[in-house]
Chains A and B, each alone.
Chain A
Amino acid sequence: MLGTLMIGLREGLEAALVVGVLLAYVHRIGRRDVAKRIWIGVGAAVLLSMILGAILTYGAYGLSFTAQEAIGGSLSILAVVMVTWMVFWMLRASGDLGADLRGQVDRALVGNGWGVAAIGFVSVGREGLETALFIWATTRANDISPLTGFLTAVSGIVIAIILGWLLYRGMLRINLTVFFRWSGALLIVFAAGVLAYGVHDLQEAGFLPGPFAPPPPEAGAFVAAWFGESAWAFQLSHLIAPDGFLGALLKGTIGFSPEMTKLEVFAWFLYLVPTLTIFLRASFAQERERAARKIAATQKGTP
């Protein structure tokens, strides 16, 4: 029972957190109308996932393993690109907004808000298909009461949504400058996690070198180090149970899995360190600039 709950939690957490941050964003800049569009994006993703999941489970055709992993992997990478782009767009927009943020934000918001909605769609849809397949299969299973199985899985997702909502509430309470900085930073951290297991999916599908393929014949030592057993960076599943609460939480937030390949860790760092550095530097620079402008304005005002 707990296992079923954890599956729902793990699969739902990261999507719920991203959506929570997105909603906090549009709320803070006073675009409630965009919030509606995000919900449309999320709703569409849930609906599409459930429909596709049902078709693939009960229909005449299922998805080949390679296709499943390839779609999951490439949607992950698409999600990372979109989130990164949005974070920097927001940074620039909030810079342009000047003193009275709420008043001027109506000019444009990521293509009338549909861009943000698309991010919500991809973030949910990415995990959605796998979750839907799992939920339908659980519903179909005979050995446990289908309803119990279904409700437990959904409970996990509900817990994920509550965590996303708590993040949303917390985000609303913090000061606006700090909000933009830390919500952006959070999204970058989430995105790094998404990237890491996007890479993992592509490794499983055999599109990227990894522990699921032997080194090519006549490969040098450098190339061989990315294949087979030596492709693992660490395997800590004996310390952190992947099906436990901590495992689910770490996986759903920062994308940490107890077993990670070198390429995953490499991609995680390669994305996170420069992106976060550039973002935080720009954010702090913006704050200093704004403070300086304020001082200049005050000085101009005094004779």
Chain B
Amino acid sequence: MTITHPRRRVGQTLTALATLAGATIALTGCVPNAAPDAESIAVTASDTDCAVETAEATSGTVTFTVQNDGSTVNEFYVLGANKLTIIGEVENIAPGASRDLTVQVGPGDYFTNCKPGMIGAGVGQAPFVVNGEAVETSQEDDAVIAQYIGYVKSQTEELVPQVQEFVDAYQAGDDEEAKRLFPLVRISYERIEPTAEQFGDLDPKIDYRKPGALEEGIPFTGFHRIEQDLWLDAAIANYSTPEKDHYPKDDLVALTPEERAELGDQLVADITELKDKVAAPDFTLTLADITEGAKGLLDEVAAPDGKLPGEENEFGHTDLYDFYANVEGAQVAFDTVRPLAEANDASELVTELDERFADMFALLDEYGSYDAGFVFYDTVDETQRAELAASLSALSEPMSKLTAAVVK
């Protein structure tokens, strides 16, 4: 038996370590380089500026070709949304030279920055937006997202004929029927509202209230414009109260059949557009969209112009239908991500949310149901509203932890 000399063994170990470290270079952390004809984003770095050709890219592999036109050695950085985390950097760009930085980025907000002379905080910091789909998701995540998208689709598909029926009654001048359908037609919309809000211009057209439309200087259309016309007496009374007296009153007149036709058709068109956008093959959501959407639904109930203060349907006072639908939408979103939360050891949170949802629904059930109708919200007194608020915030609080429990 040969006895290895201990010192030799140390030497061999170190050589092996060095080889291992070398091998690591070849095996890990590779990103695809840009193909020769692939597009890269040109960056012109100078001593005072950092001009990035375009401030937008699609998620995946993004290559920046940084040309240093300055007089000193430069560095180029892609930073995270917090402006601190380094997503990628290319150092040692000599004056006159050009170097590539290839990064893999998911959708989100980033910043680009140059550091001429390698000094200080750098120059030319500019926002950089990456659109598109998340780079990596697991199969479980994908399945959950697909399930939720399926739900959103089904809601928008139900919405279109319901809205058509409501608009038909309204355009035909059957105000009683329109008033009966108004809270019911909003149910599907209120369940998925955060998704509609993603499309930017659609939610303002469909669901803005008068103060919101005035504030943003857009025409007041959609559900609430029709609501105002249906409950015109309530609207006139409402806008004569001291706190709302400063709002213009020129629209507090009954709409003509032609105006009704235009308004109704537009709502149907907008709702149809929403359905089509959700059904588009490239429509996608992230897990965080789902969980944050669930929280967003509860926040909408509690918002100063939401259902809890009775501002959502300020003329029809049908806020409890919306309230119920928002909570239902939040529960569906929560139920969809439940397996992921449980897999991430968040069973306690899941149990707590189950209890809070049950409490919230039990309390809301005291005020009615979709079938039997809910009481008008102006009959709900301050004590009862405080009770609803308490139950809602007890639910919102654990809900705010859901994203962290699901998205790892």
Residue of A nearest to B95 (CB): A3
B11 near A111 (CB under 8 angstroms)? yes
Candidate in B30, B32, B94 with the most chain A CB atoms within 10 angstroms: B94
Given A111-B12, A137-B100, A214-B84, also A75-B21 (CB < 8 A): yes
Given A3-B73, A137-B98, A141-B98, also A62-B30 (CB < 8 A): yes
Which of A66-74, A166-174, A177-185, A263-271 forms contacts with chain B?
A66-74
**How many chain B residues touch the partner (CB < 8 A)?**
52
The residues of B that contact A130 with a CB separation of less than 8 Å are 91-92
Chain B 15-51 residues near chain A, CB threshold 8 A:
15, 17-18, 21-22, 24-26, 28-33, 35
The residues of A that contact B125 with a CB separation of less than 8 Å are none
A241 near B119 (CB under 8 angstroms)? yes
A62 near B102 (CB under 8 angstroms)? yes
Residue of B nearest to A75 (CB): B21
**How many chain A residues touch the partner (CB < 8 A)?**
68
Given A63-B30, A204-B89, also A138-B97 (CB < 8 A): yes
B82 at interface by CB-CB < 8 Å: yes
B21 near A238 (CB under 8 angstroms)? no
Binary A-proximity of B57-97 (CB < 8 A = 1, otherwise 0): 00000000001000111000000001011111101111111
Given A7-B73, A114-B12, A115-B14, also A122-B21 (CB < 8 A): yes
Binary B-proximity of A77-108 (CB < 8 A = 1, otherwise 0): 01000100100010000000000000000001
The residues of B that contact A110 with a CB separation of less than 8 Å are 7, 10-11
CA distance A115 to B26 in the complex (A): 23
B246 at interface by CB-CB < 8 Å: no
A186 at interface by CB-CB < 8 Å: no
B217 at interface by CB-CB < 8 Å: no
A61 near B117 (CB under 8 angstroms)? no
Chain A 185-242 residues near chain B, CB threshold 8 A:
204-206, 211-214, 228, 235, 237-238, 241-242
A111 near B8 (CB under 8 angstroms)? yes
B94 near A52 (CB under 8 angstroms)? no
Residue of A nearest to B102 (CB): A62
The residues of A that contact B25 with a CB separation of less than 8 Å are 52, 63, 67, 71, 129
CA distance A249 to B92 in the complex (A): 16
CA distance A119 to B7 in the complex (A): 15
B11 near A114 (CB under 8 angstroms)? yes
The residues of B that contact A228 with a CB separation of less than 8 Å are 84
A302 at interface by CB-CB < 8 Å: no
B30 near A78 (CB under 8 angstroms)? no
The residues of A that contact B35 with a CB separation of less than 8 Å are 60
Q: Provide 14 A-B residue pairs closer than 8 Å at the C-beta atoms, listed in order of the A residue.
A: A3-B71, A3-B95, A11-B92, A59-B33, A63-B25, A64-B104, A66-B29, A78-B17, A108-B5, A108-B7, A134-B91, A134-B92, A144-B95, A241-B119
Give the interface of A toward B (CB within 8 A): 1, 3-4, 6-7, 11, 48, 52, 56-57, 59-68, 70-71, 74-75, 78, 82, 85, 89, 108, 110-112, 114-115, 117-119, 121-122, 125, 129-130, 134, 137-138, 140-144, 149, 152-153, 204-206, 211-214, 228, 235, 237-238, 241-243, 258
